[in-house]
Amino acid sequence: MMLVLVIAAAVLTAGILVTGIIQMARGTDVTGKTSNKLMQARVVAQAVTVVLVMIMLALAAT
Q: Whole-structure pTM over 0.95, yes or no?
A: no
pLDDT recorded at residue 57 = 95
DSSP 36-59: HHHHHHHHHHHHHHHHHHHHHHHH
pLDDT recorded at residue 62 = 81
pLDDT recorded at residue 45 = 97
Cα dihedral sign for 8, 9, 11, 15?
Answer: positive
pLDDT, tens digit (0-9, with 9 covering 90-100), for 3-55: 999 999 999 999 999 998 888 888 887 788 888 999 999 999 999 999 999 99
pLDDT recorded at residue 1 = 87
pLDDT recorded at residue 49 = 97
